């Protein structure tokens, strides 16, 4: 659960708190990774209980797009939908993960927004302290239209591994009171910044953030054997692969096994901790015929 300066920010995916992986803190910024899932909704949870500020302004970005801009004096906030000012009303959309795929052919409908291309697969939450007093106004700043991400050319990611993007639901509009506040932190230096990189479990495993734990392939005991008609497609496929592997091994010519290596501990320096481990192939160790020599000139 990422926390910094008394503020905590978490993300829940399909109602379950996401596990943070590879959490790092640098200055006022916390960075971590979470697992994303196809077509699953997500929400943001903010907890200001241990913060000393009386009011907090917070901006939330998904894939480089601002999706929420709020101010609050409450100790906890839950953001379940994007919220943006449009024509004096608040536009709200539900959010979910969507599978991301690149294309290798250029077209006129390609995504060209630099802030999007640089931040696909990333959530960013900026938090500022603000004066407790706020002024209500009907003059809300109009936000730019929230557009779904277009097709992305594979070269535009510059080698970044991205498995999902954020997809927004149908827009709903409602009246809302807009507040103007005075921030206590510079606009370019938030009090706390949370960055969540989201990706599939397989992607995070490939980066070593999730350890791989291969499970042994189950075998079928004699009393559990099924006929071909009774096997599920997955079981039938597994048995076919096992048969092919066994048949291939049966036709493979027998090769001479490589002779094992000898391991020698060289402690010539007289200190075991400074010894040297020498690996030597047994094939390189020559066998010398031992011949007994009798000295006939000896006085004995």
C-beta of residue 22 within 8 angstroms of C-beta of residue 51: no
The pLDDT of residue 269 is above 60: no
Alpha-carbon span 35 to 28, nearest angstrom: 24
What does the pLDDT look like over 164-213, one tens digit per residue?
A: 999 999 999 988 878 889 999 999 999 999 999 999 999 888 887 777 66
**What pLDDT is attached to residue 252?**
52
**What pLDDT is attached to residue 58?**
96
Q: Quickly state the pLDDT bin for 253 (edges 50, 70, 90).
A: low
**What pLDDT is attached to residue 277?**
37
Q: Structure tokens of 202?
A: 């397989």
**What pLDDT is attached to residue 267?**
40
Q: Quickly state the pLDDT bin for 101 (edges 50, 70, 90).
A: confident
The pLDDT of residue 38 is above 90: yes
What does the pLDDT look like over 45-89, one tens digit per residue?
A: 999 999 999 999 999 999 999 999 999 999 999 999 999 888 778
What does the pLDDT look like over 3-35, one tens digit per residue?
A: 899 999 999 999 999 999 999 999 999 999 999
> Lowest-pLDDT range, 85-94, 151-160, 236-245, 287-296?
287-296
Alpha-carbon span 80 to 70, nearest angstrom: 13
Domain boundaries, the chain: 3-206
Which 3-state string (H, E, C) describes the chain? Answer: CCEECCEEEEEEECCEECCCEEEEEECCEEEEEEECCCCCEEEEEEECCCCCCCEEEEEEEECCEEEEEEEECCCEEEECEEEEEECCEEEEEEEEEEECCEECCCCCCECCCHHHHCCCCEEEEEEEEECCCCEEECCCCCCCCCCCCCEEEHHHHCCCCCCEEEEECCCEEECCCEEECCECCCCCCCCEEEEEEEECHHHHHHCCCCCCCCCCCCCCCHHHCCCHHHCCHHHHHHHHHHHHHHHHHHHCCCCCCCCCEEEEEECCCCCHHHCEEEEEEHHHCCCCCCCCCCCCCCCC
With 0-12 CB in 10 A as exposed, 13-18 as middle and 19+ as buried, what is 85? middle
The rounded mean pLDDT for the chain is 78
């Amino acid at each position: 659960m990422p926390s910094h300066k008394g503020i905590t920010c978490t993300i829940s995916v399909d109602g379950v708190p996401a596990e943070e992986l590879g959490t790092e803190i640098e200055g006022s910024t916390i960075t971590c990774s979470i697992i994303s899932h196809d077509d699953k909704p997500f929400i943001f949870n903010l907890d200001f209980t241990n913060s000393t500020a009386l009011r907090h302004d917070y901006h939330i970005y998904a894939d480089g797009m601002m999706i929420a801009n709020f101010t609050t004096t409450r100790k906890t906030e839950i953001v379940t939908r994007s919220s943006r000012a449009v024509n004096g009303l608040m536009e709200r959309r539900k959010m979910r993960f969507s599978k991301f795929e690149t294309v290798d052919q250029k077209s006129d409908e390609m995504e060209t927004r630099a802030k999007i291309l640089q931040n696909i697969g990333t959530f960013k939450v900026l938090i500022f302290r603000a004066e407790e007093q706020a002024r209500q106004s009907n003059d809300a700043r109009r936000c730019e239209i929230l557009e779904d991400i277009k097709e992305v050319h594979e070269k535009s990611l510059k080698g970044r591994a991205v498995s999902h993007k954020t997809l927004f639901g149908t827009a709903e509009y409602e009246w809302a009171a807009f507040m103007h506040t005075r921030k206590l932190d510079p606009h370019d230096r938030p009090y706390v910044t949370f960055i969540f990189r989201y990706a599939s479990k397989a992607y995070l495993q490939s980066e070593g953030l999730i350890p791989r734990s291969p499970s042994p392939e189950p075998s079928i005991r004699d009393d559990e054997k099924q006929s071909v008609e009774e096997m599920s497609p997955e079981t039938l496929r597994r048995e076919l692969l096992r048969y092919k592997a066994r048949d291939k091994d049966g036709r493979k010519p027998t090769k001479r096994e490589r002779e094992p290596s000898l391991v020698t501990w060289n402690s010539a320096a007289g200190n075991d901790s400074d010894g040297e481990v020498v690996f030597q192939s047994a094939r390189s160790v020559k066998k010398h015929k031992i011949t007994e020599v009798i000295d006939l000139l000896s006085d004995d």
